[in-house]
Structure 1
Amino acid sequence: MKKDIKKYPALDKEKLAKYKDLYENSRSTDGIHPDVVNHLTRVKSMGGGKGIEFLSNLNKDYLGAFMAPFSQELENADIVVVGLPLEKSAPMNASHKYGPKVLRELSKNFMGTTEPWVDGKFDIPFDWANIIDYGTIDTYGQFDLSAEVETCLSHFDDIVVKNKCSTFSWGGDHTISYIPIAKLAEVHGPLSVIHFDAHFDLVTYADFPYPYHSGAMFTRNMAEGHIDADRMITMGIRGRMTGLVGGHADNFGVKYLTADECRREDPKVIAQQIIDRVGDGPTYLTFDLDALDPVYNSASSAVEPFGLDLNWCWDVLREVRLSGKVNLVGADVAEYAPQNDPAKTFGYCAAGLSWKLLIWLAECAKRRNGGVDNPTVWDMSLGNVTL
């Protein structure tokens, strides 16, 4: 026979009345951070009061990456998201050319446009900087990789050289990094590089006499004066290709850490090594997804086991950003092959990492603008701010 259960005392009338009143009358905006309220209020004013409905990915085809507006109006833009669908240099798994399309879609599956940061503050990148999605550059019909790269370079002349925008790019195979680095260096001077990868990607023209490919984007940029190898650091190196091209890292003077060395160190230690290496010069961050262990990504061109933990990578990047010492002028996430990711698990990881990098770029853009906000404007607004 079951024992009688002693019932806990009911809520007192005053507390119950408070809960009922909050349930019936309070709105989320009554208790959230004032900066978030201001952001939501501002976005709700777009499009004659239509705004953007944040809490759904349905019917968002009119919005670009991370729910930024699609636009090629560059004059007042700070950060331009660009898809670079190159894959002729991917040695194994295919479908990198669809990476920008899929990552753009997945980037709208994360609800909202703000995120908690530190000390009770919020990241609100669309209030700090004018962020637009330029779209994915159409290179098809160009059957030669050099012609594809040169088509993309012509767009980046307009985006970066003429209009002085920072860029965030999605690949495509890792060939894509040549393009923004070359053009950002024309504006900012030789770049520091933060590089996450399983592979060195330091092939030379003497190794393989082809002008553009996914192993030579850094060495060609070094030879052209766009990268200072003494300010470059690569993390995640491993695998059976390492011995073949590892000598170039020593010859050029690139600092590198194997995946094993990374995993043994506290993220704060690695972050300080990055800060010390890149200095206060203009810095580019490139993240080849094969830097990650296959648990976090096996949808890329060259999968290598025993890689980096995605959370560890974010811990490192968070510490670098928190320092406020790195001047990030551009970034990319490369080597996502969506046809090898049927559940899109790895795509969500890549899109989430991309969001973190976009926020960091927005923070740096605001700093370069003298701490003044240059808010994003949505000319086309077909939803309604839920909160």
Structure 2
Amino acid sequence: MPLVPTFATPSGFLGVTRREAAGGVSVAGIPLDLGTTNRAGARDGPAAIRRASRMLVDGAHPTTGVDPATLPLADVGDLAIALGDLAGSLARIEEQAAAHDHLVALGGEHGITLPLLRALARRVGGPLALVHFDAHGDTWPESFGQRFSHGQPFFHAIGEGLVDPRRMIQVGIRSPVDAATVAWTRERGVTVVSAMEVHEVGPAAVAARITEVVGAAPAYLSFDIDALDPAFAPGTGTPEVGGLATWQVQSILRRVGGLDWRGMDVVEVAPAYDVAEITALAAATVAWEYICRAG
């Protein structure tokens, strides 16, 4: 990338202008928020995350030594959705995601994870391990009569065999939830680490737990920005107090870089509610940490 002032960084994620990743990582925006249950606006997340990522282009990652500018990384733009049609949009997302070997998706709402997992599980040839950061479990069978809102992706992913629930771990969970949904999730073997537990045991212990649960299985990372406390990520549709700090997330992610990662998403950034771009920058940093992972 040419040497330009930070504010003049090209508009692609991390300033990337390549549109094809030859054997590398493709970054795609997915501007969908038809299935949100509280505040809308995550459709504007991809543009905000790309803009915030300009703060991360000055060189190599400080611990891995990886400079994204040297990687086969491309920003392929935004995936097409079916305007006003949630089911149609999920189908179109799945079809387009299947064209990419290794996809980093910028949401958009959390419902986009379901078609991404459908496409990836088919590519891998079996169920995936899943590392899920969130304030919410997203395993409700329905939300307000809707079966495919942003509260159901992992209910369906487990039911469809896209993920192995015994290789699935949720980190940062803390929202109100009905007992039946909690029981359903745990009975299927999902490991749940609450936000309070993260605070009490620390990032190193959480990273060790993630590594233990995932093992050598092909793994997917799904990061809902509301895993972070609203103090660090106010720009989201369903904020919950008591969440993780950005430093805790970075510490955990840097310890699990060697897992067999096959793709990831960062979702639920709603910039209309953001303050000084801190939510979008947090989301961009999560994706950057993933792209610069060790191993």
* Length-normalised TM-score, structure 1: 0.71
The one of 292, 303, 312 aligned to 2:228: 292
Please tell me whether residue 132 in structure 1 is matched to residue 82 in structure 2: no
Aligned residue identity for 2:241: P
The one of 265, 269, 277 aligned to 1:336: 269
Which residue in 1 is equivalent to 2:29?
83
- The CA distance in 2 between the partners of 1:110 and 1:329, in whole Å, is 22
Aligned residue identity for 1:308: L
Counterparts in 2 of 1:304-315, with a 5 A limit?
Answer: 304-315=240-251
Secondary structure at the counterpart of residue 194 of structure 1: strand
Aligned residue identity for 1:295: A
Which segments of 5 or more consecutive residues in structure 2 lack a partner in the other structure? none
- The CA distance in 2 between the partners of 1:111 and 1:277, in whole Å, is 33
Equivalent pairs counted in the alignment come to 294
Which residue in 2 is equivalent to 1:114?
60
CA gap 1:244/1:347 in 2 versus in 1, 3 angstroms: farther
- The CA distance in 1 between the partners of 2:80 and 2:123, in whole Å, is 25
Which residue in 1 is equivalent to 2:97?
156
Which segments of 5 or more consecutive residues in structure 1 lack a partner in the other structure? 1-50, 160-164, 365-387
Q: Residue 182 of structure 1 contacts residue 226 of structure 1 at CA under 8 Å; is this kept in 2?
A: yes
How far off its partner does 1:204 sit?
A: 2.3
Secondary structure at the counterpart of residue 285 of structure 1: strand
Counterparts in 2 of 1:220-299, with a 5 A limit?
Answer: 220-241=156-177, 243=179, 245-299=181-235
Q: Residue 98 of structure 2 contacts residue 123 of structure 2 at CA under 8 Å; is this kept in 1?
A: no
Q: Residue 61 of structure 2 contacts residue 292 of structure 2 at CA under 8 Å; is this kept in 1?
A: no
Which residue in 2 is equivalent to 1:144?
85
- The CA distance in 2 between the partners of 1:77 and 1:319, in whole Å, is 25
How far off its partner does 1:209 sit?
A: 6.5
CA gap 1:77/1:301 in 2 versus in 1, 3 angstroms: same
Please tell me whether residue 318 in structure 1 is matched to residue 254 in structure 2: yes
The one of 350, 354, 357 aligned to 2:283: 350
For the aligned residue pairs, the C-alpha RMSD in angstroms reads 2.0
- The CA distance in 1 between the partners of 2:162 and 2:27, in whole Å, is 21
Secondary structure at the counterpart of residue 221 of structure 2: strand
- The CA distance in 1 between the partners of 2:155 and 2:78, in whole Å, is 26
- The CA distance in 2 between the partners of 1:198 and 1:67, in whole Å, is 30
- The CA distance in 2 between the partners of 1:137 and 1:261, in whole Å, is 36
CA gap 1:315/1:242 in 2 versus in 1, 3 angstroms: farther
Secondary structure at the counterpart of residue 248 of structure 1: helix
Counterparts in 2 of 1:30-45, with a 5 A limit?
Answer: none
Which residue in 1 is equivalent to 2:260?
327
The one of 166, 169, 173 aligned to 2:102: 166
- The CA distance in 2 between the partners of 1:212 and 1:239, in whole Å, is 19
Secondary structure at the counterpart of residue 187 of structure 2: helix
Q: Residue 134 of structure 2 contacts residue 227 of structure 2 at CA under 8 Å; is this kept in 1?
A: yes
Aligned residue identity for 2:49: L
Counterparts in 2 of 1:14-25, with a 5 A limit?
Answer: none
Which residue in 2 is equivalent to 1:303?
239
- The CA distance in 2 between the partners of 1:315 and 1:55, in whole Å, is 29
How far off its partner does 1:211 sit?
A: 5.0
* Length-normalised TM-score, structure 2: 0.93
Please tell me whether residue 99 in structure 1 is matched to residue 45 in structure 2: yes
- The CA distance in 1 between the partners of 2:86 and 2:52, in whole Å, is 27
Counterparts in 2 of 1:201-212, with a 5 A limit?
Answer: 201-204=138-141, 210=146, 212=148
